[in-house]
Structure 1
Amino acid sequence: MDEPVTVGVDGSPSSMRALDWAADEAALHGRPLRIVHASVWERFEDATPAEDSPEGRAEAAALEEIITDAEARVRRRRPEVRVHAEVLPGEPVDVLVHAGEGAFALVVGHRDHGALARRLSLGSVGPRVAERAWCPVILVGGSAPERPTGDRRVVLGVGEATDAGAAHVAFALREAQARGGDLVAVHARSRQETRQEPPDNGSPAADALLSAAVPARAVLESGVTVHRHVVDGPAPHALSHAAQHADLLVLGVRHRHGMVHRELRPAHHAALRHSPCPVALVGVVPRSPTKAGN
């Protein structure tokens, strides 16, 4: 069976934008689409409504409406895509992480809840899923434009420790190739790098880093035109600027030391807040579901 593009829905406007994006992504790659909605009744152990009670019937009807409407929306938008929709028991993060096992990619709507929520570590479901899911997680924010954007560009953030052949580099090349668009690899030089390489001497170390991260052989095999840019200044600002009118911004996420979970750093959260397009968070080293520890 083809690995599906999996998308989480809850009936909210942000999840509907994610659903539309996921349907387009599935059509682009010739993949089936799996729509998942999490039922959280199970967390209220002593308050779970009986199936034949008014509360139980109302809850079942509401769940059915969300999933049925989502499936119908996809069939109208992308009738060529095979669709499977289901309600799964559990909390949204747990359900989506497990639904991502065996997925081509996992698409989730992203809502930034502001400074207070970030201080309290509440955040959105999307980033928490990205920390635990083994597959690429694509977060579609409220400002994401409807596709296509026109030039089909994919932007890749290249950090100081990006290795040649890293999973997020391969993912970005694959996405650009599927779109028939260009890949723009961007490295934002830190203050330390800038001090070490003054502007009048160019950026040989940064240029070498970009060339190593996206090697010529991989570019040749993909047939994608790659543009490499070195920018001075904060990475979120550089990436947000580069992602204007892009289809997708791809960022690598490393594992926390000694843990199976990935670590979303402040730069990742800043990119999510400011990116004008969907953001794909991809583990630098791919993991199998059996090692995900979910």
Structure 2
Amino acid sequence: MDRPVTVGVDGSPSSRRALDWAADEAALHGRPLRIVHASVWERFEGATPAEDLPDGRTETAALQEIITNAESRARRRRPEVRAHAEVLPGQPVDVLVHAGEDAFALVVGHRAHSALMRHLSIGSTGSGVAARAWCPVVVVGDSAAEGSSADRQVILGVAEGTEAEAAHVSFALREAHARGCDLVAIHARSRRGMQETRHDSPGLGSSLAADALLSAAVPAEAALECDVIVHRRVVDGPAHHALLQATQHADLLVLGVRHRHGAIRRELRPTHHAALRHSPCPVALVGVPWPN
């Protein structure tokens, strides 16, 4: 059975944007679409309460409306995609992480919060899922633009220690190929690397090392095999600045996330949080192995 593109919905505008993106992704890769809504009430004896909501509906009717509307929306947008919606019992993060175990990709929305909540990283299902899921997670934020950009690029963040053919590199190449667009691989040199460059005898040591890192991370052979044109860029300064600037006209930003062997959570670093909060395009977080 084909692994589905799985998307979490709750009836909010951010989840509708995630649903639209997931439907497009399923069509792009010829995958079925699984639409999931998490209900805490379903945990209690497998039933929702019968009390009326303020608008006169019961909880059961409200849940049914969410999944029915979501399934109809997906089928209107992409009639060629096999879509199925269901309600699963449990907390949203737990439900989505479990639902993503057999997913081609797991798509979630990400709502903007108050300045205090952003500072404390509180209240984000998207961040919670991204930190715990083992499959690729695509977070579609409030600022994500509708449809593909005119420039049609997939942006790949390459950090130090990225192994050739790492999972997130393969994911980025696959997405660029499916979209028929170029892949832009970006490595941001640290402040120390910039200082080393200024003190090197010919002044090129760190630059050459950074170029070699990018070439090893995204081998020419892999790009040729995927029929994708790859642009490799070394930039100076903080990674999140460089990546956010590059995503102004991009279809997708792909970042690797370290996952320690046996650990429950993946390590979301400041660059990941900045991308999730501020990227103007969807952000894909893909697990990469932790170096021994």
Q: Calculate the TM-score normalised by the size of structure 1.
A: 0.90
Instruction: Please give the per-residue CA displacement for 1:183-221, whole angstroms capped at 9, x wherever unaligned.
Output: 000011110000111398341111011001101111111
Over 3 Å counting, the alpha-carbon distance change for 1:164 and 1:277 in structure 2 is: same
Match of 1:217 among 214, 221, 225: 221
Contact 1:253 1:283 in 2 (8 A): yes
The question of whether the paired residues in 2 share the 8 Å contact of 1:112 and 1:123 is answered with no
Matched pairs, number:
283
1:231 has 2:235 as partner: yes
Corresponding residue number in structure 2 for 1:23:
23
SS of equivalent residue, structure 2 residue 268: coil
For residues 100-128 of structure 1, the C-alpha deviation after alignment (integer angstroms, 9 at most, x for no partner) is: 01100000001232442245442310111
Query: Could you tell me which residue of structure 2 aligns to residue 190 of structure 1?
Result: 190
In 2, Cα distance between the equivalents of 1:119 and 1:149? 30
Q: Verify the 8 A CA contact 2:49 2:60 in the aligned structure 1.
A: no
Please tell me whether residue 243 in structure 1 is matched to residue 247 in structure 2. Answer: yes
Q: How does 1:103-114 map to 2 (within 5 A)?
A: 103-114=103-114
1:167 maps to 167
The separation in 1 between residues aligned to 2:134 and 2:63, in whole angstroms, is: 27
Percent of residue pairs bearing the same amino acid type: 73
Runs of 5+ unmatched residues, structure 2: none
User: 1:87 deviation in Å?
Assistant: 0.7
For the Cα contact (< 8 Å) 1:236–1:274, is it kept in 2? no
Contact 2:143 2:278 in 1 (8 A): no
Name 1:268's counterpart in structure 2.
272
Tell which deviates more after alignment, 22-31 or 144-153: 144-153
**Whole-Å separation in 2 of the counterparts to 1:201 and 1:247:** 35
Matches of 2:57 and 2:102 in 1, distance apart?
A: 33
Say yes or no: does 1:207 pair with 2:207.
Answer: no
Q: 1:208 to 1:68 in 2, by over 3 A?
A: same
Report the CA distance shift for 1:215/1:110 in structure 2 as closer, same or farther (over 3 A). same
Q: Quick one: distance in 2 between partners of 1:248 and 1:185?
A: 12
Give the structure-2-normalised TM-score: 0.91
- In 2 relative to 1, CA 54–277 (structure 1 residues): closer, same or farther, beyond 3 Å? closer
Corresponding residue for residue 284 of structure 1:
288
Cα RMSD of the aligned pairs, angstroms, is: 2.2
Partner secondary structure for residue 101 of structure 1 = helix
How far off is 1:148 after superposition? 2.3
Aligned to 2:76: 76
One-letter identity of the residue aligned with 2:6: T
Distance in 2 between the 1:242 and 1:50 partners?
Answer: 48
- Give the unaligned 5+ runs of structure 1: 287-294
Amino acid at match of 2:192: Q
Task: Tell me how far apart the structure 2 counterparts of residues 32 and 258 of structure 1 sit (CA, whole Å).
Answer: 30
**Partner AA of 1:139 in structure 2:** V
